[in-house]
Amino acid sequence: MRTFPECVPCLMSQMLYALEKTSLMKDEKNEFYYRWVKEIAKNVPQTTPMELATSLHKEIRDLSGEDPYKEIKELSTKLLKKNERLIRSHYKRSQELSDILSLVICGNLIDIKSHAELGRLNMEAILEKGLSKKFAIDHSETFKKRIEDANNILYLGDNAGEIYFDKYFVKWLQEKGKKVYFVVRGDNILNDATLKEAKECNIEDYCFKVINNGHHAPGTMIKECSEEFKKIYKKADLVISKGQGNLETLIDNREKDIFFLLLTKCPAISNLLGTKIKDAVIVYNMKLETE
């Protein structure tokens, strides 16, 4: 995805948030921040927000020696572990694809930023809200057919808490006899799931294999990924892509059948797909016309 005007302030706010979570000194934070404000300004719109975010957050991690999102990922894991029975009981109610999709989209509603927020989060309310969402773009009929025809499925995960929902979609696919490779990021980046969170979630119990993609972008830049990932990607009959980051990096891809499953959370992606903010979508890449 190219740069939209809204991506510029969004990148800067994201940088501020991440710096705030490190234990760097105030002067170091400011020096880093204003240097990167200039760097972003110089490189937009010709450089994509994904490329900028990838380098920017890597530099924050390298400079501070910390993962600013460590706490959020731990909080998400704690919340989801505590409430997994709720997801499981919803999963058991119906095995229809449409119900699974509605359940899986709930995972994208969780966006924990602090201990205080964790205390207020009510999983039953999240589920109620998510399950009642209509899909603003719904290519699930085609999705159903493509799943039936597929053998190897590549499932690209997104955030740490979210994978507890993905797990039940993966389980459903495995029970249909599919060989599912579940993919996480190659290193810590934002609140995205890595092998650590995938292991805590025991997602490997429900799929053929969990791998990391070997790269630290908050999306999937195929060229930058590991050889192992590329091999599995090449073999895959179908790609399921969760969340905005994966959509940003794969939206112009037409070499594979990709289904994007997400809530459109920012003006750039909402404008791109023609949806409203917080709309749920299941979008088939081959039906998309993008620049």
Residue 9, interface with a copy of itself (CB under 8 A)?
yes
The residue range among 6-14, 64-72, 153-161, 203-211 that interacts with a copy of itself, by the rule CB under 8 A, is 6-14
Interaction between residue 16 and a copy of itself (CB under 8 A): yes
Which residues are registered as beta bridge partners of 51?
A: none
Binding to a copy of itself by residue 277, rule CB under 8 A? no
Question: Which of the ranges 2-10, 126-134, 136-144, 242-250 carries the binding residues for a copy of itself, by CB under 8 A?
Answer: 2-10
Nearest distance in Å: CB 197, a copy of itself:
29
The answer to the question of residue 63 lying near a copy of itself (CB under 8 A) is no
Which of 25, 27, 42, 149 is the binder for a copy of itself (CB under 8 A)?
42
CB of 68 closer than 8 Å to CB of 60:
yes
Element (H, E) at 210: strand 209-212
Interface with a copy of itself (CB under 8 A), residue from 23, 45, 82, 129? 45
User: Is 95 near a copy of itself (CB under 8 A)?
Assistant: no
Contact between 265 and a copy of itself (CB under 8 A)? no
- Using rule CB under 8 A, residue 266 touches a copy of itself: no
Cβ of residue 115: shortest distance to a copy of itself, in angstroms? 17
> Is 276 near a copy of itself (CB under 8 A)?
no
5 binds a copy of itself (CB under 8 A): yes
Helix extents (H) in the chain: 7-20, 26-43, 49-64, 70-93, 97-106, 115-120, 123-131, 140-149, 163-175, 195-200, 227-235, 243-250, 267-273
Give me the sign of the Cα torsion angle 195, 196, 197, 198.
Answer: positive
* d(C-alpha 164, C-alpha 254), whole Å: 29
Smallest distance, Å, CB 27 to a copy of itself? 12
Residues with Cβ within 8 Å of residue 117, at least 6 apart in sequence: none
Q: Does 59 bind a copy of itself (CB under 8 A)?
A: no
CA distance 19 to 32: 9
Q: Which of 18, 24, 44, 163 binds a copy of itself (CB under 8 A)?
A: 44
Q: Is 47 in the site for a copy of itself (CB under 8 A)?
A: no
Structural element, H or E, at residue 263: strand 258-264
Contact 228, 211 (CB under 8 A): yes
Q: Residue 274, interface with a copy of itself (CB under 8 A)?
A: no
Closer to a copy of itself by CB, 92 or 116: give it. 116
Q: Which residues, other chains included, contact 82 with Cβ-Cβ below 8 Å and sequence gap of 6+?
A: none
Residues 144, 150, 152, CA angle at the centre, nearest 5°? 130
The amino acid sitting at 26 is K
Size of the site for a copy of itself (CB under 8 A): 19
For residue 183, which phi and psi values (nearest 5 degrees)?
-115, 130
Q: Quote the least distance from Cβ 6 to a copy of itself, whole Å.
A: 7
3 state DSSP class of 38: helix
Q: Which of 13, 94, 95, 122 binds a copy of itself (CB under 8 A)?
A: 13
- Residue 271 binding a copy of itself, by CB under 8 A: no
Q: Which parts of this chain interact with a copy of itself (CB under 8 A)?
A: 5-6, 8-10, 12-13, 16, 29-30, 33-34, 37-38, 40-42, 44-45
